[in-house]
């Protein structure tokens, strides 16, 4: 696995954000160390969710802390998210797509099944901010960002910032 100490936020249009991630085969000390690093990065950046591809690790794993506190962080390993309910359009941002806040259409409810850090599977029903956050992070393990989800009108409205990100973080420019 990648050197975890070197993990840092990846930005659109990095390949690791654009490809579906691979299942976690075993919940071991490497994974636990990765999760601790992801907590550090998410909390330092005042995020409420962070997926492993966002720190350059192509694994199906994300964390969420709706209150932005370390004690509140939940871990979702090899998640599946099932969509339920009506659609709603709410503004979202993403640490990997900085400078863009845009309305994204998502289901108001969903359920999630995942394993925790002890390898135990759990299932939960979610609505409100929690449901939205689960869908956003699940998108990341599927290789989808808000830059893909945003409406074509929003793509036009944010074209300068998207271009800037492609120039800064595109294949030839990633540092
Ligand atoms: Ni995101």
For residue 133, how far is its CA from the centre of ligand 1 (angstroms)?
9
Question: What's the pLDDT score for residue 171?
Answer: 78
- Of residues 36, 124, 125, 137, which has the active-site annotation? 137
Q: Is the pTM of this model over 0.85?
A: yes
Domain membership of residue 175 (yes or no) is no
Asked whether residue 122 is assigned to any structural domain, the reply reads: yes
Please list the rounded mean pLDDT of every run of 10 residues in the chain (175 residues): 88 97 97 97 96 98 96 98 97 97 98 97 98 98 98 97 96 62
Q: What secondary structure does DSSP assign to 62-129, as a single string?
A: EEE-TT--GGG-EEEEEEEEEEEEEEEEEEE--TTSTT--EEEEEEEEEEEEEE-TTS-EEEEEEEHH
Q: How far does the centroid of ligand 1 lie from the alpha carbon of residue 118, in Å?
A: 25
Residue 14 sits in which domain range? 4-170
Q: How many domains does the chain have?
A: 1
Q: Token pair of 35, please? A: 């999760």
Residue 55 sits in a domain whose CATH number is 3.90.45.10
Whether residue 11 is contained in a domain is answered as yes
Position 30 in a domain = yes
Quick one: pLDDT at residue 143? 98
Does the annotation mark 36 as catalytic? no
In a domain, 72, yes or no: yes
């Amino acid at each position: 696995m990648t050197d975890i100490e070197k993990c840092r936020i990846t930005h659109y249009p990095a390949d690791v954000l654009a490809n579906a991630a691979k299942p976690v085969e075993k919940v071991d000390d490497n994974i636990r160390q990765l999760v601790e690093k992801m907590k550090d990065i998410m909390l330092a950046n005042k995020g409420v969710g962070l997926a492993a591809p966002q720190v350059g690790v192509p694994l199906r794993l994300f964390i969420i802390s709706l209150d932005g506190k370390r004690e509140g962080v939940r871990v979702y390993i090899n998640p599946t998210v099932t969509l339920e309910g009506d659609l709603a359009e709410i503004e979202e941002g993403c640490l990997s797509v900085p400078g863009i806040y845009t309305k994204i259409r998502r289901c108001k409810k969903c359920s999630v099944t995942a394993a925790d850090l002890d390898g135990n599977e759990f299932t939960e029903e979610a609505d409100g901010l929690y449901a939205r956050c689960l869908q956003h992070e699940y998108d990341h393990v599927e290789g989808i960002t808000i830059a893909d989800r945003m409406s074509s009108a929003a793509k036009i409205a944010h074209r300068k910032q998207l271009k800037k990100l492609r120039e800064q973080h595109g294949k030839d420019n990633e540092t």
